[in-house]
Structure 1
Amino acid sequence: MGVGVDFDLTGLVGRDRELAELVTFLDTAATDGAALLLTGDPGVGKTALLDATAELAAAKGIRVVRGSGVEYETDVSFAGLHQLVAPLAAELGRLPRSMREAVEVALGLGAGPAPSRIAVLNAVLSLFGEAARERPLLLVVDDLHVVDDASRSAVVFVARRLGGHRIGLLGARRAESDGSFRPTGLAELAVAPLDDAGALRLLSRRFAHLPRRVLSTVAREAQGNPLALLEFAGSTRVSGDRDGEGAGWASGPGRDVRALYGARVGRLPRRTRDLLLLAALEGSGDIRVLEAAGGPDGLDGLAPAERDHLVEVVESGRAVRFRHPLVRSAVVDGSTGEQRRSAHRRLAEALVDRPERRGDHLARATTAPDEAVAAVVESAARSILRRGDADGAITRLRRAAELSPGPAARRRRLSQAAYVAAWVAGHLEVSHEIMHEVEGDPAARSLSAAAAAGFLVLVTDGDADTAHALLTEAVEQAPVPPGPPGGELETALFTLTLAGQYSGRPEHWQPLVDVLARFPEAAPSAAASLARVHHDLGSVTDAMLRRLDEEIARLRDQTDADVVIRTALTASYLDRLPGCREAVSRVIRDGGAVGSSMPALMFVALDDLYAGRWQASADAAAELIALCEETGYHLFAQVGHYVAAMAAAQRGDLDACREHCEDIWRWSGPRGLRRLENCAHQAAARAALGAADFETAFRHATAICAPGALPPFNPEAVWSAPDLVEAAVRSGRHAEARRHADALRDAGVGHLSPRFALSSATAGAMTSDPEDMARCFEEALALPGVEQWPFEVGRAQLAYGERLRRQGLVRDARVQLAAARGRFEELGARSWEARAAAELRATGMTRTARGKAGAALTPQELEVAGLAAAGLSNPQIASRLFLSPRTVSSHLYRVFPKLGITSRAELRDALEALPPGPPAARP
């Protein structure tokens, strides 16, 4: 309760049920971790229960660390978390450097790159785990409903991951908190008002000198609220009259107690009230700040408030604490607007060495536009963004815009807020709301406005034309800096690069290439580097690769999510995603910013795809699609469909691949997003190759580029080149195949990575002369580092075996084909495995090494196969058997390798060749 009277915390009245649950909670927390949230009305006794539990925990040998929310500090990022971390300085020093720096930067204790939210949360969890290593730890957080959002996210994140950590988290919040308090999902214990008997027992214990009738009246009017009981009784004379009579008790005990506190505050000397107002608005109760803001001997003026039990100085003597949050509210409610602004100005002067907090107080102290104040607030926003708090940065940028005297500065700051909301925080609705405040044509006025507006129309509507027009005009009007672009120009260039990237059309790329020619070579995470790589993969030099590798090596300690995402984007073109995996994973959504988590999910899905972890890749793609559809980032969802289509293609699930490709074509085609259309053609070509449908594969591969041409601005042309070559060879188009293999070799991409080298060498081997064939394939498969690309190795072995068999070298062919089949089987590449198995049978090998071909069909597989052999389509089979078409597809692609076939056309003969008897009983 923390009331303004002495209270025996070990003898709480009427709280046997709550105390019993809290004892159980402590026992669980001390052994296996637990979290609990007390809820109830103001003054109902939540703080008293927290105090009692903390006292009991200390008696049990549990270490206790406390913090609380402050109503006037809700927008000071990580203010609440700071209270929990400050006592753990020794443990913080024992964390790994990257974690320690993430916490220090987030809390403003150190300087460095902006940590992602997830990096801070994981580091804080590790910090508390370190603190609980020697003995259990109890974290106590009062007034969680007014804890700042960043700290509240950290508290909830930690609370959900306490299992096995010997850490307890006990919080309290008002049941009446407004809608801004989002559900935490934590276990809650409702603290109800005392019943009549409990209320009278409490009053009799504390106010035995008052008549019974007076106590009964107080008990009735306080409605069982312990704080109201004590305060009402304390303000009651022996006669039964009360101070402040006529205040209107019927409005509820919480308001009545605040009125009583307001009356007590109003009776204090003015000097004391001024100091209390400073303490209430400062939030942390830091004695040094109050001394600096209050003037010489200022704290002596607090003595009357201490004597009246309204505030107390904590044992360390370094902080002043209000005895109850309602006291703080009463102090602020009793002040005038000018008094509050004056207090904020004095606090800003006292916090000159803390720019973020200084900016917050200046913003509150200023009512008229003031560019100097706006600049300080904007600087604070940038600082907070570097600490990983996007929401706090958005709030401050909007406030800086309000304080901007000129319309240009106002639009610029609002646009920056909109861009951060969309790209970093993932709040599209907030970004749209802010952009509506920007008057006129944003692109004509600032780079920030163009970047924000362009990014919004691109990621939501896929409107690359509008995004390109907005950004090109803004970038062309911007002055050219002497060095690499930075700040607003870099943001605009990056967004322009994204527009050109997804468009894939020369009319969008060529102007960007012309613009970038004006700038020197930049860091791998810069827009210029990404654009140059996307423009021409073969132009990437070894020096650029070394610089990228160095940047990737530093990602382990990189806490700026934007740098991680941009570096990984460049790396994804050059087969260097595995080195980015750890850093990218830290950015993923769990506690982090939604905007950054979507591209992070892309890179995780792509990394799994390339490494042959296709189920994990499909799962990440599905998560990305769902998140994008939920949040409105429809452009990024198409990347999810592409990854899902590629995973399905390589697993042999033709129906699923086609569905995802059609989703892409349906959305991207009308918008002219050529790059995304090419991605779908690449997946469709890959699926057709697996099914040995070489004509269809050639049609899709040549939709990306013509044979013999690898045009700029078209990375899919390079990635799908082996598909086009194989489809051309197997469909009898040998001249086209050779031209394309030569084009891939001449593109000079072999030095980029082992995968590029293997793809180029395999394409060359597939089109080589018979006398050179074996040597070319052997050289391709002997390239260093190719084993990390299992699917590509399997394709090379399959192509090698096919050529060997056609040249009559059956024994050598079996070696390569068996290796390919085994590799595809391990990967789950069913249609590719079936191709290899069919080739093996053509060599005269009728039994597979692993015994999978000819394996028993289940009854349902046999039923599905029979209907497919009869000519029914997958939807028709699904309707007849009450299955989904995707389930039918899955059955068929398990049936194909079991029967040793590759297509539906072979089903009838394969089924007729089965021996009689129950299928499930076959050996």
Structure 2
Amino acid sequence: MDFDPTGLVGRDRELGELAMFLDKAASDGATVLLTGEPGVGKTALLDTTAELALAKGTRVVRGSGVEYETDISFAGLHQLVAALPYELGRLPPSMREALEVALGLGVGPAPSRITVLNAALSLFEEAAKEQPLLLVVDDLHVVDHASRSVVGFVARRLGGRRIGLIGAQRAESGEPLRATGLTEVEIGPLNDADALRLLSRRFAHLPPRVLSTVAREAQGNPLALLEFAGSTSVSGDRNGSGAGWASGPGRDVRALYGARVERLPQRTRDLLLLAVLEGSGDIGVLEVAGGPDGLGSLAPAERDHLVMVAENGRTVRFRHPLVRSAVVDGSTGEQRRSAHRRLADALADQPERRGDHLARATTVPDEAVAAVIESAARSSLRRGDADGAVVRMRRAAELSPDRADRRRRMSQAAYIAVWITGHLETSHEIMREVRGDPAARSLSAAAAAGYLVLVTEGDADTAHALLMKAIEQAPAPSGPPHGELETALFTLTIVSEFSGRREHWQPLVDVLARFPEASPAAAMSLGRIHHDLGSVTDDTLRRLDEEISRLKGRTDADVVVRTALAASYFDRLPGCREAVSRVIRDGGAVGASMPALVFAALDDLYAGRLQASADAAAELIALCEETGYHLFAQGGHYVAAMAAAQRGDLDACHEHCGNLRDWSGPRRLRRLENHAHQALARAALGAADFETAYRHATAICAPGTLPPFNHEAVLSAPDLVEAAVGSGRHTEALRHADAIRDAGVGRLSSRLALCAATITAMTSAPEAMAERFEEALALPGIEQWPFEAGRAHLAYGERLRRQGLNRDARTQLTAARGLFEELGARPWEDRAAAELRATGMTRTSRGKAGEALTPQELEVARLAATGLSNPRIASRLFLSPRTVSSHLYRVFPKLGITSRAELRDALEALPPEPPAGL
């Protein structure tokens, strides 16, 4: 089928480029972005490209930005998805539900932004299975932010797919879209010859002098050329002087469209206004909102070529964006409000869109309307549109007749802005307005103000005072706290955690004592965890594991961050990693992404991925500096300091610790001060500077004590005990080991179990030492914690060497050196190597790899690979534990490994034994 793009004059170059674009898109995917001033012909080129695509057998799906919907997330995507109902139904349920929830067409857990982006791409791939697909998006400069992110995401991933994406935006819009991957084509004005040729073709009846004047005044803008000349033709002024195009507002194309709209019947103008404000061009909605026989009123606008109805009869599209502007400009405020009310009635089954129209239709406080808009805001939050939730909640507050409701809604908008979206200035702006209200402060206001002052200024005193006053004045609930009270208690818990001072955490503990047990991620549970880690019950751990398992289907940033916070105290961050990563990648949750980055960095640190943890810490620090969330930057400095301490980069460690102490010291944030002491103690231990390490470790807590609201007292316990032993303070070391054992923290996670068992072994009597270390190294799951395992091997080897058991010591020290080498923990590797040299072993002794194992060595290795300790292996084989250790000492270098954790894989890699008798 041939296609002749008649009517486009002077666009041969552009049409040639667009034809090549379509050919490439149909075979391998392609993108193009048309830019230029209003009226230069971008929409005409989009239309022509769409017609050419249809002629080539390509399916076309169109959408357009609407300036009245720029604050409605995914409004633009809604238009594209609505055109593909069959393909939407063929998507996997998880993807279909993500799109339906994001677009307000369904209910369910809020999908993350990345989930929606991937689902949209999959939908377009599905649509392109049977024939190539062209996505056409006009007016990108007024497409909502969320939909623009879809455009960019899809554009960057079209290679190898039979999908084309073409968009258009105004050159002066200030919205840079080059980074989205669209290839830009600038559309300029027509030259003088082409302008005259266009006018002569369309307006042959006008004198050449008039055409020349029109061409000069329109400055090559095709829309202006046609509309100015058309206005002159209609006015009958063939001399070009009069009230037509030549003077006044007639020279404004928008005004000319306004004049054409003004000539339409009132019912037609009313229907056009509904179409503009509805945004998507959905004929079904217009039919309901327009009333009986309403659609018949479109005919005059169709005949005047102001609008077009799609061939399928489902949508109406304006000829040009300026027509929409002219329709709105020609309406009164009351007419617009009336149109919004009718649209709200027509959209009763879509709560967010209904709320948006009610918000625009209402001018005086109305609680019924405010409640609908608040419900729409919560719906937005559930589907991951935090920005939309803030906008809607603020509007709900504006329409609240009761001042208490108004404060509550404004404060909730402020809290969402600071906690999830990361819009500090928006939150400050809202709170300034709330503070201007002389009435008593609400729980929501206290939570928002307290969180703001904590994360930006680190002012725990002010935050605590605000929150405690509001909580004490709030009525006590009959069951577990929820809603505003839960939010306030959660914020108070965070304040008390960073403060670490008794005057802050004791009032919180007293308040929490009034309430029953709640979910592990609730404020009550988090507060109790902070207060006394060892008191956490097995049932709480079981329920926490269940909460973590459900994170796979949860994308609510608030739920993910709270659950990960609880998980971080029990070494369960690996189970949260996928959900935490979604929060980090989701551009709509910048505020929540900062604590999420802390958890990702900690997960990497604990797992021994030191470079990854340092990279995440650097990203966090940069993001906090950019956004003003100074408190979370300290979390980045802590992780960076710990990674540097373990890698032996003492300058970097001291620099990060200096930042921590300089910021937290004047604010008396004890937890951050403890973070600095912990990193400095770890760095000193790597250098075997036990006195310095002891000084920093005991700044966190005194030997033999585990103070409440001091998690670092548990985490740094191995540092304190090792520093005490190394500096000759055996009584203090034993006292602290007893405190850790009595607290029962070893049952909370495999890492804490390994730390507690290592501490016990380090302080055991010489005759029990080997058995205690063997028990520690036989604990299940310790391979997840390579640094802690390396410390246990190192401590074991050191004590064996000091007892003169050099051959046994070498086995442990070799394992320690290998683990630290893999981690890049250079000072700790050097410590192990120094101990090995003291046993008389040199690095070359590891060069026995490839030697065959003796039968007894093979048997010992197999039993060790099952997880049995040396004493248990000895008992089974009727050997001494020392002999077992000696066999393993010889086995490791022969197999080319450095730890028991590698035994199973190494044994499986051995060649099969020859059959007996050969």
Alignment TM-score, normalising by the size of structure 2:
0.88
Q: CA deviation at 1:183?
A: 7.9
Matches within 5 A, 1:429-468: 429-440=425-436, 444-468=440-464
Q: Does 1:301 align with 2:258?
A: no
Counterparts of 1:806 and 1:97, CA distance in 2:
64
Confirm or deny: 8 A CA contact 1:443 1:470 kept in the other structure.
no
Confirm or deny: 8 A CA contact 2:337 2:361 kept in the other structure.
yes
Match of 1:496 among 492, 496, 517: 492
Counterparts of 1:709 and 1:10, CA distance in 2:
87
Structure 2 SS opposite 1:374: helix
The equivalent residue for 2:167 is 171
Confirm or deny: 8 A CA contact 1:475 1:489 kept in the other structure.
yes
The equivalent residue for 1:403 is 399
Q: CA deviation at 1:61?
A: 4.6
Amino acid of the structure 2 residue aligned with 1:727: A
Amino acid of the structure 2 residue aligned with 1:70: V
Q: CA deviation at 1:317?
A: 1.1
Q: Does 1:225 align with 2:221?
A: yes
Cα deviation 1:268-289 (Å, max 9, x = unaligned): 1112222222222222222222
Structure 1 SS opposite 2:843: coil
Amino acid of the structure 1 residue aligned with 2:280: S
Confirm or deny: 8 A CA contact 2:112 2:586 kept in the other structure.
no
The equivalent residue for 2:79 is 83
The equivalent residue for 2:526 is 530
Cα deviation 1:289-331 (Å, max 9, x = unaligned): 2222222111112221122111222111122222211111111
Cα deviation 1:468-519 (Å, max 9, x = unaligned): 1111111121122222222111111111111111111121111111111222
Q: CA deviation at 1:660?
A: 0.6
The equivalent residue for 1:905 is none
Q: Does 1:44 align with 2:40?
A: yes
Q: CA deviation at 1:332?
A: 1.1
Q: Does 1:246 align with 2:243?
A: yes
Counterparts of 2:124 and 2:438, CA distance in 1:
46
Match of 1:807 among 803, 816, 819: 803
Residue 291 and residue 698 in structure 1: after superposition, are their counterparts in 2 closer, same or farther (change >3 A)?
Answer: same
Residue 227 and residue 456 in structure 1: after superposition, are their counterparts in 2 closer, same or farther (change >3 A)?
Answer: same
Match of 2:823 among 820, 823, 827: 827
Confirm or deny: 8 A CA contact 2:153 2:180 kept in the other structure.
no
Q: Does 1:124 align with 2:135?
A: no
Match of 1:662 among 633, 658, 665: 658
Cα deviation 1:30-84 (Å, max 9, x = unaligned): 4554433211112211112222223333444544322111122222321111112
Cα deviation 1:637-676 (Å, max 9, x = unaligned): 0000000011111111111111111110010011010011
Amino acid of the structure 2 residue aligned with 1:144: L
Residue 772 and residue 60 in structure 1: after superposition, are their counterparts in 2 closer, same or farther (change >3 A)?
Answer: farther
Confirm or deny: 8 A CA contact 1:39 1:190 kept in the other structure.
yes
Unaligned runs of 5+ in 2: 848-918
Moved more, 112-121 or 737-746: 112-121
Matches within 5 A, 1:257-406: 257-406=253-402
Confirm or deny: 8 A CA contact 1:390 1:425 kept in the other structure.
yes
Q: CA deviation at 1:221?
A: 2.3
Moved more, 325-334 or 184-193: 184-193
Counterparts of 1:298 and 1:217, CA distance in 2:
42
Cα deviation 1:671-709 (Å, max 9, x = unaligned): 010011111111111111111111111111101101111
Q: CA deviation at 1:220?
A: 2.0
The equivalent residue for 1:110 is 106
Structure 1 SS opposite 2:764: coil
Structure 2 SS opposite 1:321: strand
Counterparts of 1:104 and 1:437, CA distance in 2:
36
Counterparts of 1:409 and 1:191, CA distance in 2:
51
Structure 1 SS opposite 2:745: coil
Residue 34 and residue 469 in structure 1: after superposition, are their counterparts in 2 closer, same or farther (change >3 A)?
Answer: farther
Cα deviation 1:397-417 (Å, max 9, x = unaligned): 222222222322222221111
The equivalent residue for 1:653 is 649
The equivalent residue for 1:157 is 153
Match of 1:737 among 733, 753, 774: 733
Amino acid of the structure 2 residue aligned with 1:206: R
Q: Does 1:620 align with 2:616?
A: yes
Confirm or deny: 8 A CA contact 1:443 1:473 kept in the other structure.
no
Q: CA deviation at 1:430?
A: 1.1
The equivalent residue for 1:478 is 474
The equivalent residue for 2:862 is none
Residue 249 and residue 590 in structure 1: after superposition, are their counterparts in 2 closer, same or farther (change >3 A)?
Answer: farther
Q: CA deviation at 1:11?
A: 5.7
Counterparts of 1:685 and 1:770, CA distance in 2:
26
Q: CA deviation at 1:807?
A: 0.7
Counterparts of 1:685 and 1:574, CA distance in 2:
22
Residue 180 and residue 401 in structure 1: after superposition, are their counterparts in 2 closer, same or farther (change >3 A)?
Answer: farther
Counterparts of 2:241 and 2:129, CA distance in 1:
53
The equivalent residue for 1:193 is 189
Confirm or deny: 8 A CA contact 2:178 2:184 kept in the other structure.
no
The equivalent residue for 1:911 is none
Confirm or deny: 8 A CA contact 1:758 1:792 kept in the other structure.
yes
- Aligned residue pairs total 845
Matches within 5 A, 1:19-58: 19-30=15-26, 32-58=28-54
Confirm or deny: 8 A CA contact 1:29 1:168 kept in the other structure.
yes
Amino acid of the structure 1 residue aligned with 2:805: L
Match of 2:544 among 548, 567, 575: 548
Q: Does 1:68 align with 2:64?
A: yes
Residue 135 and residue 290 in structure 1: after superposition, are their counterparts in 2 closer, same or farther (change >3 A)?
Answer: closer
Residue 721 and residue 295 in structure 1: after superposition, are their counterparts in 2 closer, same or farther (change >3 A)?
Answer: same
Residue 525 and residue 10 in structure 1: after superposition, are their counterparts in 2 closer, same or farther (change >3 A)?
Answer: farther
The equivalent residue for 1:759 is 755
Greater RCO (CA < 8 Å, at least 6 residues apart)? 1
Q: CA deviation at 1:101?
A: 2.6
Moved more, 172-181 or 134-143: 172-181
Structure 1 SS opposite 2:606: helix
Counterparts of 2:786 and 2:836, CA distance in 1:
20
Residue 753 and residue 127 in structure 1: after superposition, are their counterparts in 2 closer, same or farther (change >3 A)?
Answer: farther
Alignment TM-score, normalising by the size of structure 1:
0.88
Structure 1 SS opposite 2:62: strand
Moved more, 636-645 or 310-319: 310-319
Matches within 5 A, 1:582-621: 582-589=578-585, 591-621=587-617
Counterparts of 2:159 and 2:99, CA distance in 1:
22
Moved more, 473-482 or 159-168: 159-168
Confirm or deny: 8 A CA contact 2:796 2:812 kept in the other structure.
yes
Structure 2 SS opposite 1:671: coil
